[in-house]
């Protein structure tokens, strides 16, 4: 007997959740293996809260910039108000805080698709473009930082591997856009271009059309500029947290640590990146010879300070979208299935 698709998707989701929670536990065991909580509490008590406030402000601002970038990327499909993009982004962050496996990307895509009448595939495509641009910027930033900061040999090898992967992905995307540009040029003489074409399925052609629309629109360039501002704000936020905790590291060191954290938390993980954030934060700080107990204490301190504001901001944004916590949970559960039923307006 064949297994129903929904059962297969549910089993896959459970496996990913178990994997995420398992990795979180392993990460926490590793960072806490020689942790002295009394020393960490002493360091936290002596933190400079002015710097903490600066860090929180810049971190919150970075996601406002992300909403602005998203608005630019969605421009080819409609004029989406910045307020709705912002609410969707913060609601998605809230979903990532309370559910494993980062379902917030799907939730915010659903909210914009539902409110603006843009197909979910196009909105998800814009999120994919975001991730690709972020990967390119992260790789370029790491290359620039390596010119000024002495990094371990293993770290440099990992950076080289990441650069090669990014270059391959970017080449594929550019070739796909060029292919579609040529195809649209060939079809321009016809009265009504076919959606699927003779060689590509209709769904794939739809994805390529959306990618082509985003990549060739004039609004793509301000989106790239916003993509540069977003990680800058996050670097300032993390650097301010370092200053508040008494870690006298340079701004470039904060860039390296943030890159390590962001790459690490992109893996399947527990809600709010618990465990993964601490592990990769400590890993990044060890590059700069920060003592283990200090690095672990800072990882929990920075995680709490930079996460707590989004619990309140995200929940408020969720309520403004018209969803309750229960309805959000139902939507998130639906996203995990491979075959999603149409959703109604909230």
Q: Give the end-to-end CA distance of the chain in Å, rounded to a whole number.
A: 38
Measuring CA to CA, how many Å separate 201 from each of 125, 192, 196, 208?
Answer: 17, 17, 5, 11
Q: Give per-residue pLDDT as tens, 37-52.
A: 999 999 999 999 999 9
Q: Where do we find the tokens 């600066």? A: 54
Q: Give per-residue pLDDT as tens, 11-42.
A: 777 787 888 888 889 999 999 998 999 999 99
What pLDDT shows up at residue 337?
A: 57
In whole numbers, what is the pLDDT of the chain averaged over residues? 85
Alpha helices in the chain (DSSP H): 5-31, 37-45, 49-74, 82-98, 104-116, 120-145, 153-187, 202-216, 220-245, 251-265, 276-286, 292-320, 325-335
For residue 251 the two structure tokens come to: 């701004």
Chain-centre distance of CA 123, in angstroms? 15
What pLDDT shows up at residue 342?
A: 40
* C-alpha to C-alpha distance for 35 and 235, rounded to whole angstroms: 26
Q: Give per-residue pLDDT as tens, 212-253.
A: 788 889 999 999 999 999 999 999 999 999 999 999 999 999
What pLDDT shows up at residue 202?
A: 54
* C-alpha to C-alpha distance for 30 and 26, rounded to whole angstroms: 6
For the beta carbon of residue 167, count every other beta carbon within 10 angstroms. Answer: 12
**Percentage above 90 pLDDT, the chain:** 55
pTM: 0.86
Q: Where do we find the tokens 């971190």? A: 59
What pLDDT shows up at residue 5?
A: 53
What pLDDT shows up at residue 196?
A: 45
Alpha helices in 188-201 (DSSP H): none
| Cβ contact 139:162 at 8 Å | yes
The larger pLDDT score, comparing residue 120 to residue 3, is at 120
Q: Give per-residue pLDDT as tens, 143-194.
A: 888 888 888 887 778 778 888 888 888 888 778 777 776 766 665 444 444 4
Angle between the N-to-C axes of helices 202-216 and 153-187, in degrees from 0 to 180, rounded to the nearest 10: 100
For residue 344 the two structure tokens come to: 């109604």
* C-alpha to C-alpha distance for 87 and 184, rounded to whole angstroms: 35
Q: Give per-residue pLDDT as tens, 278-326.
A: 999 999 999 999 999 999 999 999 999 999 999 999 999 999 998 888 8
* C-alpha to C-alpha distance for 261 and 204, rounded to whole angstroms: 33
φ, ψ dihedrals at 100, nearest 5°: -75, 170
For the beta carbon of residue 214, count every other beta carbon within 10 angstroms. Answer: 24
Measuring CA to CA, how many Å separate 12 from each of 51, 121, 321, 336?
Answer: 43, 22, 30, 9
């Amino acid at each position: 007997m064949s297994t129903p698709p929904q059962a297969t998707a549910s089993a896959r989701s459970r496996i990913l959740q178990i994997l995420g929670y398992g990795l979180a536990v392993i990460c926490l065991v590793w960072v806490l293996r020689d942790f002295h909580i009394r020393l960490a509490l002493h360091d936290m008590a002596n933190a400079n809260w002015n710097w903490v406030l600066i860090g929180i402000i810049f971190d919150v601002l970075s996601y406002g910039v992300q909403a602005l970038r998203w608005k630019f990327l969605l421009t080819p499909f409609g004029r989406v108000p910045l307020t709705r993009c912002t609410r969707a982004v913060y609601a998605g962050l809230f979903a990532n805080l309370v559910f494993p496996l980062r379902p917030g990307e799907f939730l915010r895509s659903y909210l914009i698709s539902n409110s603006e009448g843009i197909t979910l595939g196009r909105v998800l495509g814009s999120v994919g473009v975001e991730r690709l641009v972020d990967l390119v910027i992260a790789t370029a930033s790491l290359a620039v930082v390596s010119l000024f900061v002495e990094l371990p040999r293993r770290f440099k090898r990992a950076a080289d591997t990441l650069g090669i992967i990014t270059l391959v992905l970017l080449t594929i995307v550019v070739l796909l856009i060029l292919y579609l540009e040529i195809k649209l040029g060939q079809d321009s003489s016809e009265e009504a271009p076919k959606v699927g074409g003779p060689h590509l399925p209709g769904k794939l052609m739809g994805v390529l059309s959306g990618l082509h629309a985003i990549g060739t629109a004039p609004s793509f360039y301000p989106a790239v500029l916003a993509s540069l501002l977003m990680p800058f704000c996050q670097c300032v936020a993390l650097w301010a947290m370092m200053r508040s905790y008494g870690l006298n590291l340079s701004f470039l060191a904060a860039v390296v640590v943030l890159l390590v954290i962001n790459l690490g938390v992109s893996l399947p993980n527990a809600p709010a990146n618990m465990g993964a954030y601490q592990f990769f934060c400590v890993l990044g700080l060890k590059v700069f010879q920060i003592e283990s107990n200090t690095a672990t204490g800072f990882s929990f301190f920075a995680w709490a300070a930079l996460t707590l504001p989004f619990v309140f901001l995200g929940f408020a944004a969720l309520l403004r979208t018209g969803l309750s916590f229960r309805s959000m949970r139902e939507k998130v559960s639906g996203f995990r299935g491979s075959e999603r039923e149409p959703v109604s307006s909230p």
